[in-house]
């Protein structure tokens, strides 16, 4: 009979941590992850549950998101994919600006984000927007300078070089180390590092810069899965990390589910991303995401439990 080895001494886990994100005087970090609610002023977004073409409907969704625990509200006026109607800059402004202005009036302390790739749209939101979510990786090089001028933060993204509203087809990543699954991760890190440096050079303070590996954009499902597994490497760039996971196609294809049935898969991926160092989570399902990321923050040891009475002496 073999003699059992003595148990090893437990050691604290080595977990990725990024610098705090500071927007509108609020600080988000590992102990206080942020949930970014998605509000689309569109009639053709990929998930029917987040189509708010009417302003009144969008305002109802805003109030629900805040009540459910949203820290940031991200307002968009154009569908990301190539399907659906074409929206020019003037129409985009007419969709997003009234909602942003109403949100600012209703919630003065709420962090407001604008999902756009156009500099003129961000300029129109001066005075009400705190963050510019550029999901198309600097397609308009003026956008980051507008963000700096209006005092907003910026999200730097990775789209595999695709222009706005382009769905990925036949995407492959290869570099000097060969065509393998890590090539996409190396490309993500290179593009995000460069984007963050461009933002700093434009005058955006580093505490207002987020890096987003941008799952699904310019990526196959396998690309998105491996990129998510390497979230710790994205956190190693030294900026707060944003992950937009909610109900995306890589979740649907992994589990063979339509958008309406992707919540559980979304939350599983969200928990992994949180454990690996993500600070901000762009989400359709605010309440569920809030609970998931707060639980992971406590499991990591970054956030104390709200209550801790089980097993304590009774008084």
- Give 259-269 pLDDT, tens digit per residue: 999 999 999 99
Is the pLDDT at 127 greater than 90, yes or no? yes
pLDDT band at 115 (very low <50, low <70, confident <90, very high): very high
Structural contact between residues 35 and 291, judged by C-beta atoms closer than 8 angstroms: no
Tokens for 121? 């749209």
Residue with the two structure tokens 């609020």: 26
Kindly state the average pLDDT of the residues 175-188: 86
Instruction: Please tell me the predicted confidence (pLDDT) of residue 100.
Output: 98
pLDDT band at 1 (very low <50, low <70, confident <90, very high): confident
119 or 84: whose pLDDT is higher? 119
Residue with the two structure tokens 């009475």: 309
Tokens for 52? 């708010």
CA angle 245-232-291, nearest 5°? 45
List the domains of the chain with CATH numbers: 21-299 (3.20.20.20)
CB within 8 Å of 290: residues ≥ 6 apart:
35, 68, 69, 70
Neighbours of 239 (CB within 10 A): 26
* Helices and strands of the chain, counted as H and E runs: 10, 10
pLDDT band at 67 (very low <50, low <70, confident <90, very high): very high
pTM, rounded to two decimals: 0.94
Instruction: Please tell me the predicted confidence (pLDDT) of residue 315.
Output: 72
């Amino acid at each position: 009979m073999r003699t059992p080895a003595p148990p090893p001494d437990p050691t604290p886990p080595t977990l990725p941590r990024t610098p705090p994100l500071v927007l509108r005087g609020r600080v988000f970090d590992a102990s206080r992850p942020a949930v970014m609610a998605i509000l689309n002023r569109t009639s053709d977004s990929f998930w029917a549950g987040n189509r708010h073409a009417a302003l009144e409907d969008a305002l109802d969704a805003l109030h629900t998101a805040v009540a459910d625990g949203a820290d940031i509200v991200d307002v968009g006026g154009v569908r990301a994919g190539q399907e659906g109607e074409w929206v020019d800059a003037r129409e985009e402004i007419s969709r997003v600006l009234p909602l942003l202005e109403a949100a600012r009036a209703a919630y003065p302390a709420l962090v407001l984000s604008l999902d756009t790739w156009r500099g003129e749209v961000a300029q129109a939101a001066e005075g009400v927007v705190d963050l510019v979510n550029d999901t198309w990786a600097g397609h308009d090089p003026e956008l980051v300078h507008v963000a700096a001028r209006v005092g907003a933060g910026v999200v730097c993204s990775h789209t595999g070089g695709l222009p706005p509203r382009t769905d990925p087809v036949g995407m492959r990543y290869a570099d000097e180390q060969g065509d393998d699954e890590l090539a996409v991760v190396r490309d993500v890190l290179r593009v995000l590092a460069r984007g963050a440096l461009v933002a700093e050079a434009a005058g955006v303070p580093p505490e207002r810069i987020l890096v987003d590996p941008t799952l699904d954009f310019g990526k196959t499902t396998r690309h998105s899965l491996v990129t998510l597994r390497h979230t710790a490497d994205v956190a190693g760039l030294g900026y707060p990390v944003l992950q937009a996971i909610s109900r995306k196609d890589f979740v649907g294809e992994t589990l063979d589910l339509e958008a309406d049935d992707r919540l559980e898969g979304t939350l599983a991926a969200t928990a992994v991303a949180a454990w690996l160092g993500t600070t901000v989570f762009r989400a359709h399902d605010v309440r569920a995401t809030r609970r998931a990321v707060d639980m992971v923050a406590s499991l990591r040891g970054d956030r104390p439990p709200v209550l801790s009475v089980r097993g304590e002496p009774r008084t």
